[in-house]
């Protein structure tokens, strides 16, 4: 009997204080369902609407095993294609269909991708600090856990905390997170000089610009960081300024990681074929799920570009598991960003504590041990959802403030 989709449900939850959106695809086979991540934490209601009002009616009654066919159907159905709301909605269903496929086969997903080429996935964590001493202390804590790759920042991405404009801003300037690019560059170069003096060169250090510099400043900044042997410099150039990556590549020998905000193959195709980047950094749900993610991984492999999938706190454990399954089967894997074992600094504390609450809602989270993350061997993604626990942690639909980044003259800067 053909396995057909009988229902598609959306579950919203925020066990760590971060909005997460899970899709449950139900089938005509008793007890057989799949789970996927459609998290767009800052527009979750728009994604929910798209799934419930448009994709659910489109897919009910269709063959749940026809993953490629259904992905293309969802992608084309609105005529106008692409974008983060549509892609995240498609991702939730796509991941759930892959989860279903693994459960039907009785295999974890990495087996469907050709099997493991490594037993565990090396990860990197984020270390921050108010000053060099605090940052070094935090790096040491990660090193004691066996972690050898660490992304280093001081004060987040170089801006102030959200609030009133600083005294040197124009009168009447709006509230925001204020950034002085020149000071940020000076402070960061000094920071990495101090880090290498204190922690040496054995640990692989990364840094995330978060697209907050103008292209010419990003080039100068990358050149100034060359003596400190970075594992990679992330998102030095904004998505909208992608043509500058060719000049950045010509001017610096620092490995470049790019793509957190990418939506569509046109945004990464030339960067990969012309070898303008070293690591592709896309957010799996942002590009539409596992189906396009696997295609991107195989495409990048042909040009020597390694994967370093985005793995922040604002994605569900289902998406983290999807990253890990792809990593396990990828020859061109580089490193995996990981926020799945400890809460990020901006997490809102719950009564239980954010990590305990997350594990209650999502049993089966991939396990971290001594610098590596291991997928469990349950069929599919291997992560389940306790809907009763999920309902205890409602989402917040308030105004997002951390993206309201401003330059010292009060004008908006991409966050």
CATH numbers and ranges of domains, the chain: 5-107 (3.30.390.10), 111-379 (3.20.20.120)
Strands (E), 220-327: 232-234, 256-258, 279-280, 306-307
Model confidence pTM above 0.85: yes
**What's the pLDDT score for residue 219?**
98
**What's the pLDDT score for residue 352?**
47
Residues written for the chain = 415
Q: Is the pLDDT of residue 136 over 70?
A: yes
Q: 344 vs 253, which has greater pLDDT?
A: 253
When pLDDT is cut at 50, 70 and 90, the band that residue 343 belongs to is very low
* CB-CB contact of 296 with 318 (8 Å): no
* CB-CB contact of 285 with 273 (8 Å): no
Q: What is the DSSP string of 9-54?
A: EEEEE-TTSS-EEEEEEEESSTT-EEEEE---TTSHHHHHHHIIII
Starting at the edge strand found earlier in the chain, the sheet holding 177-179 runs: 177-179, 405-407, 412-413
pLDDT tens readout for residues 279-319 = 999 999 999 999 999 999 999 999 999 999 999 999 999 99
- Alpha helices, H only, 255-336: 265-273, 290-301, 317-328
**What's the pLDDT score for residue 347?**
35
Instruction: Kindly list the catalytic residues.
Output: 157, 210
Please give the span between the terminal C-alpha atoms of the chain, in angstroms, as a whole number: 50
Q: Is the pLDDT of residue 350 over 50?
A: no
**What's the pLDDT score for residue 340?**
62
In the chain, % of residues over pLDDT 90: 92
When pLDDT is cut at 50, 70 and 90, the band that residue 1 belongs to is confident
Give me the phi and psi of 168, to 5 degrees please: -85, 0
Query: 176 in helix, strand or coil?
Result: strand
**What's the pLDDT score for residue 349?**
38
């Amino acid at each position: 009997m053909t396995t057909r989709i009988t229902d598609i449900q959306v579950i919203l939850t925020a066990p760590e204080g971060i909005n997460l959106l899970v899709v449950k695809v139900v089938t005509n086979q008793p007890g057989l369902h799949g789970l996927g991540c459609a998290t767009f934490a800052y527009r979750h209601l728009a994604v929910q609407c798209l799934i419930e009002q448009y994709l659910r009616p489109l897919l009910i009654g269709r063959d749940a095993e026809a993953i490629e066919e259904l992905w293309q159907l969802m992608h084309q159905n609105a005529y106008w294609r692409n974008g983060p709301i549509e892609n995240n909605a498609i991702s939730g269903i796509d991941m759930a269909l892959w989860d279903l496929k693994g459960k039907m086969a009785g295999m974890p997903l990495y087996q469907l991708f050709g099997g493991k080429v490594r037993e565990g996935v090396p990860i990197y964590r984020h270390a921050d600090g108010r000053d060099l001493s605090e940052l070094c202390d935090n790096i040491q804590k990660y090193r004691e856990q066996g972690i050898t790759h660490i992304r280093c920042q001081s004060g987040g991405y170089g801006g102030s905390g959200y609030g009133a404009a600083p005294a040197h801003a124009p009168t009447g300037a709006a509230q925001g997170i204020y950034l002085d690019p020149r000071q940020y560059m000076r402070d960061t170069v000094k920071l990495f000089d101090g880090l290498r003096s204190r922690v040496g060169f054995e640990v692989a250090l990364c840094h995330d610009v978060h697209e907050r510099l103008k292209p010419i400043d990003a080039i100068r900044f990358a050149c100034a960081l060359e003596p400190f042997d970075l594992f990679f410099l992330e998102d030095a150039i904004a998505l909208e300024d992608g043509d500058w990556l060719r000049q950045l590549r010509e001017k610096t020998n620092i490995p470049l990681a790019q793509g957190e905000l990418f939506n569509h193959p046109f945004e990464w195709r030339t960067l990969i074929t012309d070898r303008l980047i070293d690591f592709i950094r896309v957010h799996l749900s942002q590009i539409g799920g596992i189906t396009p993610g696997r295609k991107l991984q195989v495409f990048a492999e042909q040009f020597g570009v390694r994967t370093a999938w985005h793995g922040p706190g604002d994605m569900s454990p289902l998406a983290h598991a999807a990253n890990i399954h792809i990593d396990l089967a990828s020859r061109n894997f580089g490193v995996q960003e990981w926020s799945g074992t400890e809460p990020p600094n901006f997490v809102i504390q719950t009564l239980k504590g954010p990590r305990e609450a997350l594990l209650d809602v999502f049993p089966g989270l991939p396990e971290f041990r001594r610098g590596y993350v291991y997928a469990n061997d349950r069929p599919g993604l291997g992560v389940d959802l306790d809907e009763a626990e999920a309902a205890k942690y409602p989402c917040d639909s308030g105004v997002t403030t951390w993206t309201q980044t401003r330059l010292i003259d009060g004008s908006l800067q991409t966050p």
